[in-house]
Structure 1
Amino acid sequence: MPDHLQPTLFQDAGKTQASDTFQELLASIAARPKYLPDWPESHRALPNEILRSALFNCRNRNLPRMFLKEVEIAVIGDGQVIYRGEELRQDDELVWMHLMHLIKKSPLGECVEFTPYSFIKALGWPIKGQNYDRLRNCLSRMQATALRIQSKRLHSFVSISLIQKFLSRNERNESLTRWQVWVGKEMQLLFDEEFLTRVMWETRRSLPDGIASKLFGYWASHRKPYPVKVETLLKLCGSGMQTKHFKIELKRALDLLKQSGFLEAWELKDELVVVVRRH
């Protein structure tokens, strides 16, 4: 597979940082451990900046995916996310969560290997040919990405590709028994221990890809969720729905999150969504 869209760190032209600050950022990468933080086998983890953004959206799977060119992604709270690449959805997030779970066991920048069968089984997808293609397509989409993230804790913009490269076929275009994926060392910056959310894997993969799975990740990143406007959640989900249709699906998603045991209770009042997490 060709190496393209290699991860880089840079200072945005419109928001130039002092050179010493940028050098400190580079030095911090070199000083960090080569491994991602650890989490239990029963959990998966993602950076708060990702879970609180519309990067992995909830658009209908039957709609064609758009190609986004330097598009600002909606974020709740601190930070800015600029994205270039094919539109990412909740199935991509599920794949990335499990991939990073495997990656954390190896030094960043080195190859991680797995059988596509074991990966698909871990996701809870049916073991059939189309899901092998689905997994390959998810990995391909995430390789061909350029993601720029800025937040107070990062100081400068961090620009990465979600996957540096992957190999799933040989030179004869035959599927390999074991697939290989590489993730750049810069991923350490996003997976900082203090800005990481660990979620119950069984709950996440039991939820249908959509609003429920999206809001599960968002509220998991808050110990005590605060009331949020319906309009704000609509932007976070990136579903493209009209507000009245979104509210119908939102209520269904909230019921699912309660049934799953994640939420203790929820209430919709005066266009505000109020939830209580079960701890």
Structure 2
Amino acid sequence: MTQHSLHDLTALERHYSSRARFSKGDEWTERNIVRTSTSELEVLLEMQPCFVYRLSLDAVPQLARRGPAHLAHVRSAIWQLLSCDGPVGERPPLDGDLLQWKGTRERMTRRRWLAAMLATIEEHLGPADTSQSVQAALAAATSATCAVASANSESHTVSTEWYLPDLRPGQFQLPHLWTCGSLVQIGVRNSTRRQYTPDAPLHVVEFSGQSYGDTTVTYLGEELRTGDMEVWGQLLKLVTPLPLGSRVTVSAKELLTALGRGTGGPAYKALRAEIARLQGARLAVRSSFEPMRQQFRAMFPDDPLSQSSARGPIEVSFQLLGPSSTDGRMWSVSVPREVRVAFGPRLSSWFSEREYGLLTRRREGDTVRRLYLLYRSHVRPWPFTVQELRRFLGSTMGRDTDLKAALDTAHDRLTSAGLIKGWRYGSSDRRRNCPDRVYAVDF
């Protein structure tokens, strides 16, 4: 350890300093990474390779028992980190303080620890080709670090650019704040939308997958529905390769085609209204959920709140869309930088455009599409009661009997589309203490 005190280190560095022991969160993450499926692990580490720092050398043999593919995905993530392949500011520095890592007796930098991890993995997998040996990795990483340092020294002001998590072809992504809570609402088709004002805002306090009260969203603007969320998801996909805040230009016809809609006059009119609604939508997200706090600390290192040792909630306010312009056929729009706090592991999910497109081509209703997004936001869908689904889907239907009938139909439609294997409504072994009947779904 250098002469700097622990208080001068970042929160991530404090995890691995002073003691050779993980936090409870690290232990939990390591167990889940070891247990997760190959495909889920690949997606997780592609989006956030820093999760490798949550593993220990002891995890390598456990991953090896799961199969070589598990170790291969971890090795790819290590290569990503060693090659400095990521936006500046999103990942901790490879060089710096000597940190104590679980399963080792010596302090080492992140670079040296990654090399040790890589060497251990290669003992189980066999070495990669010569260009990918541990020595080559260290040399490539050192070269990349020097290049970054040189580039930074040429500029007195280095602006940190933030990007949305990468997407694979055929995917789009949405945050759980949208898919697992009542921010986006369902109800009677063509009913009048509510207007949420400072005197009468929409407060969303429950999100599936989070404890009650971890996160509160206060929404101002016109009521959002599934069509608005679909337009936003397509715009997010377009801006994913660009720094957040950048303008992207797209034709209305391209958007409508991607959404699986017609290209007649009413469709253009609806699209214009949806983009205007998204631009007028303003959120204040107040959260003590640790993954969101970590995003906040990384994005706003100069904010006194981000480095505070207090465990109180943080709050970020933003619009869903930034400034836009249009000539009626072409749109130029941007997504504000602050939106990034809602994306990341345990904060957002990816969805198959092919599967979701099947629902739009079949012209399924809002309940079917929202239910699909809620279920696909979970690795294994939790059995929900009718009242829970009312809260998590944002249902404005007045009577429970009406909602129950809509949910039964929605589950049948998902089954007929082949997106779920089946469902039943009744008691569940997973919720033995729940007095109400629940929807159990099989994927």
Question: Is there any run of 5+ residues in structure 2 with no aligned partner, and where?
Answer: 1-9, 12-86, 91-160, 294-313, 427-435
CA RMSD of aligned residues (A): 2.0
Name the structure 2 match of 1:50.
178
| C-alpha distance in 1 between matches for 2:88 and 2:340 | 10
Name the structure 2 match of 1:5.
none
| C-alpha distance in 2 between matches for 1:184 and 1:253 | 34
The alpha-carbon deviation at position 34 of structure 1 amounts to 2.3
Return closer, same or farther for 1:267/1:44 CA change in 2, 3 Å cut-off: same
Name the structure 2 match of 1:259.
416
Return closer, same or farther for 1:206/1:150 CA change in 2, 3 Å cut-off: farther
| C-alpha distance in 2 between matches for 1:99 and 1:154 | 22
Question: Is there any run of 5+ residues in structure 1 with no aligned partner, and where?
Answer: 1-19, 22-28, 170-174
- Given the alignment, which residue of 224, 237, 241 partners 1:105? 241
1:120 aligns with 2:256: yes
| C-alpha distance in 1 between matches for 2:353 and 2:381 | 20
The alpha-carbon deviation at position 73 of structure 1 amounts to 2.3
| Structure 1 residue matching 2:283: 3-state secondary structure | strand
Name the structure 2 match of 1:272.
438
- Describe the superposition over 1:46-72 as per-residue Cα deviations: whole angstroms up to 9, x where unpaired: 112221111111122310111013221
| C-alpha distance in 2 between matches for 1:30 and 1:85 | 34
| C-alpha distance in 2 between matches for 1:30 and 1:147 | 27
- Describe the superposition over 1:67-107 as per-residue Cα deviations: whole angstroms up to 9, x where unpaired: 01322125334222211110000001111111100111222
Name the structure 1 match of 2:220.
84
Greater RCO, 1 or 2 (C-alpha within 8 Å, sep 6+): 1
- Describe the superposition over 1:147-193 as per-residue Cα deviations: whole angstroms up to 9, x where unpaired: 12233122312211100121113xxxxx2x42100111112211225
- Given the alignment, which residue of 310, 322, 345 partners 1:164? 322
Name the structure 1 match of 2:32.
none
Identity %: 27
TM-score w.r.t. the length of structure 1 is 0.82
| C-alpha distance in 2 between matches for 1:96 and 1:206 | 19
Runs of 4+ in 1 over 3 A off after TM superposition: none
How many residue pairs end up in the alignment?
Answer: 245
| C-alpha distance in 2 between matches for 1:264 and 1:245 | 24
Q: Are the counterparts in 2 of residues 91 and 209 from structure 1 also a CA contact under 8 Å?
A: no
Name the structure 2 match of 1:249.
406
Structure (1/2) with the larger helix percentage? 2
| Structure 1 residue matching 2:439: 3-state secondary structure | strand
1:31 aligns with 2:89: yes
Q: Are the counterparts in 1 of residues 187 and 396 from structure 2 also a CA contact under 8 Å?
A: yes
Structure (1/2) with the larger strand percentage? 1
